[in-house]
Amino acid sequence: MLVSDWIRSEGLSPTLRKAFEGAHREGYLRAYDRLEGAGYGAAVLRAFASAAPRVATQVGPDQAIALATDASRIAIKARPRTAGAFLDLCPVMAVKLKDPQQFGQWREMIAAVLRKHPKAVLPLLSRSEMLFDRLGLDPLGAWVQTGMRVAGQDGEQAIAYFQLETPEALRLLERFAGEANFPSLESGLKSFYTALWQQTPLLREAGSRGPNGGSVRRTTFSGGLIQMPSAFSGFRGQEQQLYRASIAHVGAHKTYGGAQFKLGQLKPLQVAVVSLIEDARVETLTMRDMPGLHRLWCPFHTAQHDGVPTAQNLFSGLARALIDPEFHPTHGWVKKGVKMFQAAAGRLHDPAISRQIGNILGNDLGQTRVQFDAVGYVVQPAYRDDNLGLWDLPADPETPPPSQELEAPLADLRRTETHDQRQDRKQEQAKPETPDVLEPVKTMAADPEAGRKMASLPEYDYHGGIERDDWVSVNAYDPVPGDPGFWDQLQDRHGAALSRIQKAVATSETGKRRKLKQQLEGETLDLDAAIDTAIALRSNRQPDPNVYESITPPPRSIAVHLLLDISQSTADPAGPNLTILDMERDAAAILASTMAQLGDDLAITAFSSAGRHDMRVVPVKTFDTPLDKTTASVLSGLHPGFSTRIGAALRYACRDLDGLPRYRKIVLLVTDGAPSDIDMPDADYLVEDARRAVQRMRAQGIDAICVALGNDAGQRHTEIFGRKTCVQITDIATLPAKLSAFYLRMTR
């Protein structure tokens, strides 16, 4: 007997009776019947029973009954979980909209996305409340429709758009919200800077933090280049003034600053204080020449008297006290800073003043044991730059490049902390919200101290819908030397394949073709040159014979980071006396030889993992090293072990490619299994993380391609990479011959 039959016999509950009376009572029961009979599960039925009366109360019973049809379509085209999320959201939107027509308009918006990109519905639902609060109904509809046009038929692009993971999504959101952002203000900012400093700036929009993925929050400058954030969040209505204040501040540094400060033995706390004093010094000198800039800068200094005496609050208080004469600090350290700065008023043209005052104040603050988080520190107020341009930072191979740590300019000084202190602090700051999923299981993992710390990468938690910064530690391990005769053995094993590939290399090309005009020979006429020739003939002048147009073959401009999965499963047999890793090794060597003949750039990294604290990479070949006997020795010395954290490997490879000036950039993954690791019992967690990593890479213009080895059973690579960019090779013994051939087809 259906539950709705029981409801008919026993009568509706008071809540339902009030919401659905008369003819609407039967309509509700029929809708419930359809959902129950379709077998979508108890969760969908409960969601409908809970949502319908509340929606009926706000926007009428007709709209509430129609939810059953909507939920059914969503459950069929997406999945029941998405239908449940839709029903849970409906009462919230009904309260916000209150009008039946507008609620129906919102339902149709969801239906339009469902028809074109079913998998994008859940990301849109998860952000609908925030988007509606920020945009309103009509602008939200325009933003959704624009997103579907931008994505076209690409479902993954639509998902990334509605998850706000693409630059287009964020820019369009700001535009439809009526908020000013960098693209809309760029032209005016250049004019404003030129008017102030009589120089035209080289101005660019800053991207993300490279492999870490987070949004850039502060302006940065290096040499002649100024990079500004795409948007300043939290300053609605003040965007134009904030951008102007920021670019004027950079101009002050360029006009009144000196040579970059040497880092020396300074601690992170001292670096921050010296930078703060230098900011105040150049602004003071600028305001002596242009007093009106005080009205531009001062409103963004909002420090108060009664803040908790943390390092961040003290810095904000000192920054305001040095620019705002109406602000009277109460803390002794801030008062001392103001007094020292005022005493040096006659010598402010000397940048050494900043270092002298900053060293003293930094030492004083260090004696008070005030806690200072160098990694989480962000310069305040928001218009000031990240201070990276002030310092001559060392090229430490274990330290990420400053451009990848724009939000934490003092991260380069983290070597003052011990490894254990870093791990303890990061675990406290990034404590999982879902410990049953994210806490590692107890196991015997490799000691991270055996490798060199290379980077801290983010990881996506699909349960909470958040990306956890600095969640995965990447450790580089020294390669184990292998067989020096590897190249000769490769020729013996795969001579025929090498010969075929060598012949195919001659016809391969990639890049942009260029038109050459005014040529003596060519395929077509150059119209402009032909017109000039006709004019010359009529004017009784000797015409130029160069009247043809030709097209040059495109130069190859491609870089590939090859990722080799060397997890324990690659020790499985792939043929007589051969393992999967043997096949990967030979395939990588043949591909490297092919790319060397083509002149393409190649880096090879082998990877495995032993939990999030030990993402293990072995650098086989970098972009800067040649293909030689050392590469062969490292390849032949690879050994299988541990697990497969694919998302972290992709982000690591992406970081290497991000700054290369190449026409096409590719991360090519060769793996024999789905993502897995010892600290992750949830099979979906690392799959979702890897999928997000792929989406971010493609948003940066980097191709992510997977060569999956073995049978389809249990593999989820298509879900991560998409069908068009995932190749399945079931006969693993054919990998060495197929990989290079696949590469040549892929780069035509």
Mean pLDDT for 344-349 is: 92
Task: Say if 637 falls within a structural domain.
Answer: yes
Whether residues 107 and 186 share a domain: the answer is no
- Strands (DSSP E) contained in 580-663 are 601-609, 615-621
pLDDT given at position 195: 92
Task: Say if 424 falls within a structural domain.
Answer: no
Whether residues 229 and 134 share a domain: the answer is no
Cα 54 to Cα 62: distance, rounded to the nearest angstrom: 12
Where is mean pLDDT largest: 117-131, 169-183, 711-725? 117-131
Which of 204, 41, 213 minimizes the C-alpha distance to 650?
Answer: 213
Cα 516 to Cα 274: distance, rounded to the nearest angstrom: 54
Whether residues 87 and 215 share a domain: the answer is no
Q: Say whether pLDDT at 683 is over 70.
A: yes
Task: Say if 425 falls within a structural domain.
Answer: no
Residues 513-524 as b/e (b if ≥16 CB within 10 A, e otherwise) read eeeeeebeebee
Mean pLDDT for 395-404 is: 39
Which of 470, 440, 473, 512 minimizes the C-alpha distance to 680?
Answer: 440
Residue 233 in tokens = 């969040």
Where is mean pLDDT largest: 3-12, 474-483, 488-497? 474-483
Q: Say whether pLDDT at 176 is over 90.
A: no
CB 90 within 8 A of CB 67: yes
Given 256, 289, 308, which residue is the final one in a domain? Answer: 256
pLDDT given at position 98: 87
pLDDT given at position 513: 58
pLDDT given at position 368: 79
| Confidence band of 17 (pLDDT split at 50, 70, 90) | low
Mean pLDDT for 570-594 is: 87
For residue 689, give the CATH number of its domain.
3.40.50.410
Cα 380 to Cα 369: distance, rounded to the nearest angstrom: 21
Instruction: Tell me which of 18-27, 86-95, 224-233 is least confident.
Output: 18-27
pLDDT given at position 445: 38
**Residue reference for tokens 């108890």:** 42
pLDDT given at position 454: 84
Q: What percent of the chain has pLDDT over 90?
A: 30
Mean pLDDT for 408-434 is: 38
Whether residues 645 and 521 share a domain: the answer is no
Which of 274, 164, 137 minimizes the C-alpha distance to 692?
Answer: 164
Report which DSSP code applies to 413.
Answer: G
Q: What are the phi and psi torsion angles at 328 (to 5°)? A: -115, 100
CB 725 within 8 A of CB 703: yes
Whether residues 671 and 703 share a domain: the answer is yes
Cα 116 to Cα 125: distance, rounded to the nearest angstrom: 15
- Angle between helices 332-343 and 352-367 in degrees, nearest 10: 160
pLDDT given at position 154: 85
What DSSP line would sit under 122-164, residue for residue? HHHHHHHHHHHHHH-HHHHHHHHHHHHHHHTT-HHHHHHHHTT
pLDDT given at position 434: 33
Whether residues 359 and 499 share a domain: the answer is no
**Domain span including residue 526:** 514-552
Burial class (CB in 10 A: 0-12, 13-18, 19+), 278: buried
Instruction: Tell me which of 204-208, 269-273, 372-376 is least confident.
Output: 204-208
Can the peptide bond before residue 80 be classed as cis, meaning omega within 30 degrees of 0?
no
Cα 664 to Cα 511: distance, rounded to the nearest angstrom: 8
Long-range contacts of 309-317, Cβ-Cβ distance < 8 Å, separation of 24 or more: 309/370, 310/370, 310/371, 311/269, 311/272, 311/365, 311/370, 311/371, 311/372, 311/373, 311/377, 312/377, 312/380, 314/365, 314/370, 315/272, 315/273, 315/276, 315/380, 316/380, 316/381
Whether residues 159 and 276 share a domain: the answer is no
**Residue reference for tokens 């030397």:** 481
Cα 653 to Cα 607: distance, rounded to the nearest angstrom: 11
Where is mean pLDDT largest: 24-28, 488-492, 559-563, 724-728? 559-563
| Confidence band of 525 (pLDDT split at 50, 70, 90) | confident
326 Cβ contact partners less than 8 Å away, ≥ 6 residues apart = none
Whether residues 147 and 210 share a domain: the answer is no
**Residue reference for tokens 């949004």:** 215
Residue type, 229: P
CB 176 within 8 A of CB 164: no
Mean pLDDT for 489-498 is: 72
pTM given for the model: 0.42
pLDDT given at position 349: 92
Whether residues 391 and 502 share a domain: the answer is no
Residue type, 18: K
Where is mean pLDDT largest: 138-152, 389-403, 421-435, 684-698? 684-698
pLDDT given at position 300: 92
CB 669 within 8 A of CB 705: yes
pLDDT given at position 498: 66
Which of 379, 382, 378, 388 minimizes the C-alpha distance to 242?
Answer: 382
Cα 516 to Cα 500: distance, rounded to the nearest angstrom: 34
Q: Say whether pLDDT at 45 is over 80.
A: yes
Task: Say if 218 falls within a structural domain.
Answer: yes
Where is mean pLDDT largest: 161-175, 347-361, 669-683? 347-361
Residue type, 616: R
Task: Say if 123 falls within a structural domain.
Answer: yes
- Over the chain, what is the mean pLDDT? 80
Cα 83 to Cα 75: distance, rounded to the nearest angstrom: 5
Instruction: Tell me which of 186-195, 351-360, 496-505, 507-516 is least confident.
Output: 507-516
pLDDT given at position 568: 92
Whether residues 157 and 18 share a domain: the answer is yes
pLDDT given at position 503: 58
Cα 45 to Cα 40: distance, rounded to the nearest angstrom: 8
Whether residues 547 and 560 share a domain: the answer is no
More confident of the two residues 7 and 210: 7
Task: Say if 413 falls within a structural domain.
Answer: no
Across the strands, what pairs with 727? Answer: 707
Q: Say whether pLDDT at 198 is over 60.
A: yes
Task: Say if 463 falls within a structural domain.
Answer: no
Task: Say if 589 falls within a structural domain.
Answer: yes
Whether residues 541 and 572 share a domain: the answer is no
Cα 195 to Cα 656: distance, rounded to the nearest angstrom: 38
Q: Are strands 702-709 and 664-671 parallel, antiparallel or unpaired?
A: parallel
pLDDT given at position 482: 84
pLDDT given at position 577: 82
* Number of separate domains in the chain: 5
Q: Say whether pLDDT at 628 is over 90.
A: no
Where is mean pLDDT largest: 23-27, 377-381, 426-430, 657-661? 377-381
Given 552, 574, 609, which residue is the final one in a domain? Answer: 552
* C-beta neighbour count of 528 within 10 angstroms: 12
Mean pLDDT for 716-729 is: 88
SS3 assignment, position 575? strand
pLDDT given at position 10: 45
Given 201, 225, 256, which residue is the final one in a domain? Answer: 256
Which of 362, 379, 323, 355 minimizes the C-alpha distance to 259?
Answer: 355
pLDDT tens per residue, range 279-327: 999 999 999 999 999 999 999 998 876 556 788 889 999 999 999 998 9
More confident of the two residues 447 and 93: 93
Which of 557, 587, 556, 565 minimizes the C-alpha distance to 740?
Answer: 587
